[in-house]
Amino acid sequence: VPVVVRRLLWIAAFLLPLLWIAAGAVLGEATLRGSRSPVAAATTKSMLSDDPERGREVEILAADGIRLRGSFLEPLSPPRGCVLLLHGVSDSRISSLGLARMFVAAGYAALAIDSRGHGASQGDLITYGLLERDDVLRWAAWLAARGCSAVYGLGESMGAAILIQAAAERPAFAAIVAECPFRDLRTIARDRIVQLAPGPLWMRRTLARLTIPAGFLYARMRYGFDLDQVSPRDAAARLETPLLLIHGTADSNIAPSHSHSIAAAARRTSLWLVPGAAHTAASTHAPREFQAKVLDWFRDHSPQPSRSPT
């Protein structure tokens, strides 16, 4: 073998592992840090008011001491139950306030929260359920401590995935709704790289196969996070809480196959595929059907006798 070729092989043997490690660090940091969308005080204030139907700001402490914040909305009459609302990645509770008002109008109290690392909540890292599942259970306990006769949950996208994992940890909810969840973090990471990376399909798939293991290894070595534990599908297999899955057939962000996989693993579940709806767009694409299905799901799984909305 010529000397030049041998030198090139030695250089490649040295550089390729470094490039793999660097790719893992970049992917790991991008995954865990995300992009915070701040809650503008003026925007939040304009959407809330002193009216008891519009709510007040609340906060709790997470297990690691960070402050988690949300908006609690109550109806004028005693609520039939309380609904916890979880948003998607790089979003905030502001996107949940429309749904919160829908629940208030139907006689429920509603708590729209900022997930850790999002909005006005503290935290630098996003773990897609590893830490957030305990945060959600603490919020559910906060609602129960305030006399909620039943606690329900509705999550969208990342929030849906977190909600399923939290509900599988402990039976804190009477029923939950998950719109457009991912089946597990490794699969959605692969899908995202194939969606966003340039080049032919075979190259994007190869890139995903090479970089995702590096990113997961980086998260474990740098932060101690086993991201393979982020799996709503595996959580659904342990879930005792009734689960309504909602997914738009035109979702190009998280494919409907993710919800199909979760539904196949869960025992007490129903899957509603919304024709033509994009990612987390069921409530705007089919508003009447969305409201009816979600409210009926909660009403049918209420621990108390149902009563008609006032």
pLDDT digits (tens, 9 = 90+) for 271-288: 999 999 999 999 999 999
DSSP helix/strand/coil, 272: strand
Mean pLDDT of the chain, nearest integer? 89
The C-alpha atoms of residue 19 and residue 65 are separated, in whole angstroms, by: 36
Does position 53 have pLDDT exceeding 70, yes or no? no
pLDDT digits (tens, 9 = 90+) for 148-202: 989 999 999 999 999 999 999 999 999 999 999 999 999 999 999 999 888 999 9
Q: Provide DSSP, 145-189.
A: HTT-S-EEEEEETHHHHHHHHHHHHS---SEEEEES--S-HHHHH
- If one compares 250 and 54, the residue with the highest pLDDT of the two is 250
The C-alpha atoms of residue 110 and residue 206 are separated, in whole angstroms, by: 44
Quote the pLDDT of residue 27: 82
- If one compares 52 and 66, the residue with the highest pLDDT of the two is 66
